[in-house]
Structure 1
Amino acid sequence: MKITILVIEDNAEMSENICSILGLAHYNVLSAPNGKAGIELAQQHHPDLILCDIMMPDLDGYGVLHILNSDPDMASIPFIFLTAKADKADMRTGMNLGADDYITKPFYGLDLLKVIEVRLRKSNYIKANYTNDMTSVTHLKDRVNELKNHKLFEHQHTRLFRKKEFIFMEGQSASDLFYIVRGRVKTYKVNYEGKELITGFHKGGDYLGYVSLVEDLPHIESAEVREDSEIAIIPKQDFLNKIYSSRDIAKMFIKMLSFNLIEAESRLLDIAYQSVRQRVAGALLKINDLYILNKKSVITITRKDISSMIGTATESLNRTLADFKEEGLIDIQGEGIRILDKSRLERNNKRPSHAPLLRV
């Protein structure tokens, strides 16, 4: 089967030259004159690789990548930017959004073909090593938490999400249940000022997106991958059929919903009544538990994420971390944090006795 490459380029002459080179190399080529048309072609044909210009009217290359990465069916397609700008900041912006590579204009045809070959080879390697058959899914699922013995869903498939990719975004229509086979994911909400509030860190064995499915609402938060992760995707109807037909499965998800409510109450109490020092201690302990389960001893979650989790400024967090280090509670290794005295850190996290219990 011929490999299909989609070229999204608003410069007609440049587009024609690229398509001609790819055609000579025996690729099947699709071309789009702008970002909107490119997205439509990608959704219709599911190409094996996308070449996309950055500077385009109406919808630029960054917007194209963002929209495609939000679609689980599109996010795994290798994406290469074409750009006349070689500025490192622009390149970093694209890579943070999930671009696989950059080609700076003008370029030689041979260089273009080499970059494409490398990206296609890497994509094929990933597909070969992360198959979607049920045997592979069951084998990996058997190694996670207490849900390992529950073969809950029969028609799931898995997908590899790269670091920084979105599994789903706040406000997006909820059509699937997600199960983390391996890896780590953060969920968060964004306020009207664009500030993040982290709602949770999740590990292998956790389910995501079930609240929106049960309530039949759009996703109430965004889920972003923090390290390369394998995610099982269960269609909404399969999930609903299971919870309506099995009392045990329904009870399991009710318990998970109840735990989410209790945890949200606890976080509200912490923000209302705990000092920054207490909240930082609590966040480190919670994140440390997550890393221990993943057999890691150094916390590498960014300072920004910890700040968003506890609702404080990054500067306040850094001052508190410096105090903890001076007191011998933690050790700071570059961007990593290692807990040295867990019991003393737990004492710093105790909630004041006068704090009331919230009930809905």
Structure 2
Amino acid sequence: MAYSILLIEDNLEMADNIASILELAKYNVIHALNGKIGVDLAQRNHPDLILCDVMMPELDGYGVLHILNKETETASIPFIFLTAKADKTDFRAGMNLGADDYITKPFDGVDLLRVIETRLKKNELIKSAFGNNPQDVSAFFSKTRELKDFQRLSENRPQRCFRKKELVFMEGQTPSDLYFIEKGQVKTYKVNYDGKELITGIHREGDFLGFVPLLEDKSYNENAEVQEDSKITIIPKTDFITLIYSSKDVARKFIKMLSNNIEEMENRLLDIAYQSVRQRVANALLKMSQRFAGVNKDGLITIARKDISSIVGTATESLNRTLADFKEEGLIEISGEGLKLVDIRKLEKLLH
């Protein structure tokens, strides 16, 4: 399948020359005569890459990039500026807005195609390889070193085996690494002045830990404790920061993860405020069952009772009474190994 390129250029002669070069290289070209038309075509067609002149009437290239970066559907499209100005301040202005590259007029056709190919290759690699599973993450960190932007990344990413109850990091520590769970389960929690735990998250294989303090350059504001024997990849801070600042696509991945964490926490607070204990317990069991589906044998929830009560926001005694009621009503099964949901539909009805 041929890539589509949106060319935003108000000079017809220049546009014809560029389009001819791109079409000879088997790219599908969409041409816009000015910035306003370019924004509209980008929003409607979602091209694989955008080439945009800087100096244009009505809406210049900076304005085009600013508008497209505000929308999720167009923000990840590789964006390359075409400009006759080679001043460093102009380069910096464009890069600060999120441009991927600059090509200065006049340029050689081969150079143009090389820049386009590199940007498309980088974008496809990030989109296809950066999934939240151990194989994809390993492939991503290995393959990105083939690209020029990532050649300085550290080659060594050690793995460490953590025993149950062992701390990965503690509140107040200065972060130096990003953690990726290859295998196992980790809980993050805070402790109040009375010594009571508030669990902020239960994390499983495929999850990252500790990226927020790295992004904010602050100490950890929570503890991370291993719930079962786990294998965790340790990614040096320099690798992570280089990735974030070198690729807006990678940055968006972590921003999305961060926003999901915030949304989940907000929903938990609302649940605690407005739902009954039965509803909160049912909701927590449903979410844990869904999140850890396929990880534990027979669909068992093996999280400790005191941790479930911390997630729910109730005393362990209240949790135990509610679980006993659920068992008597045929909603769950309880064994020495853990909990198992028996009637998911009835548990879901409790939430309404």
TM over 0.5: yes
1:310 match: 312
For 1:286 and 1:155, locate their aligned partners in 2 and report how far apart those are by CA, in whole Å.
36
In the TM superposition, what are the counterparts of 1:285-300 in structure 2 within 5 Å? Answer: 285-296=286-297, 297-300=299-302
The residue identity in structure 2 corresponding to 1:312 is T
Aligned partner of 1:103 in structure 2 is none
Distance in 1 between residues matched to 2:189 and 2:347, nearest whole Å: 25
Using the TM superposition, give the Cα deviation of residue 348 of structure 1 relative to its aligned residue in structure 2, in angstroms.
Answer: 1.4
* 3-state SS in 1 of match to 2:301: coil
- Give the 3 Å change call, closer, same or farther, for CA 185–160 of structure 1 in structure 2: same
Q: Which runs of 5+ in 2 are unaligned?
A: 1-130, 145-152
The corresponding residue for 1:219 is 220
Conservation of the 8 A alpha-carbon contact between 2:132 and 2:207: no
Q: Is the 8 A contact 1:145 1:204 kept in 2?
A: no
Q: Is the 8 A contact 1:160 1:230 kept in 2?
A: yes
Uncovered stretches (5+) of structure 1, i.e. residues with no partner: 1-140, 351-360
Normalised to the residue count of structure 2, the TM-score between the two structures is 0.57
**Which structure's CA Rg is the greater one?**
2
Listed one character per residue, the Cα deviations across residues 120-166 of structure 1 (whole Å, up to 9, x for unaligned) are: xxxxxxxxxxxxxxxxxxxxx99648756533674311100111100
Could you tell me how far apart the structure 1 residues matched to 2:199 and 2:164 are? 17
Corresponding residue for residue 325 of structure 1: 327
**What is the rounded CA distance, in whole Å, between the counterparts of 1:157 and 1:347 in structure 2?**
46
CA contact (8 A) 2:182 2:232 kept: yes
Name which of 329, 333, 336 aligns with 1:334.
336
**2: CA distance, partners of 1:144 / 1:295:** 17
> Are residue 345 (structure 1) and residue 337 (structure 2) matched?
no
Query: Structure 2 vs 1, CA of residues 143 and 236 (structure 1 numbering), >3 Å: closer, same or farther?
Result: closer
- After TM superposition, the structure 1 = structure 2 runs for residues 100-249 of structure 1, keeping only pairs within 5 Å, are 144=134, 147=137, 150-151=140-141, 154-249=155-250
Q: Which amino acid aligns with 1:159?
A: R
Aligned letter for 1:275?
S
Instruction: Report how many aligned residue pairs link the two structures.
Output: 210
1:145/1:205 contact within 8 Å kept = no
Instruction: Tell me by how many angstroms 1:248 deviates.
Output: 1.1
What TM-score comes out, normalization by structure 1 length? 0.55
2: CA distance, partners of 1:290 / 1:269? 20
| Paired position in structure 1 for 2:118 | none
Q: Deviations over 1:164-192 (max 9, x none)?
A: 10000111111111000111111111111
Maintained 8 Å contact 2:332/2:343: yes
Q: Classify the secondary structure of the residue corresponding to 1:183.
A: strand
Q: Within 5 Å, which residues of 2 pair with 1:75-86?
A: none
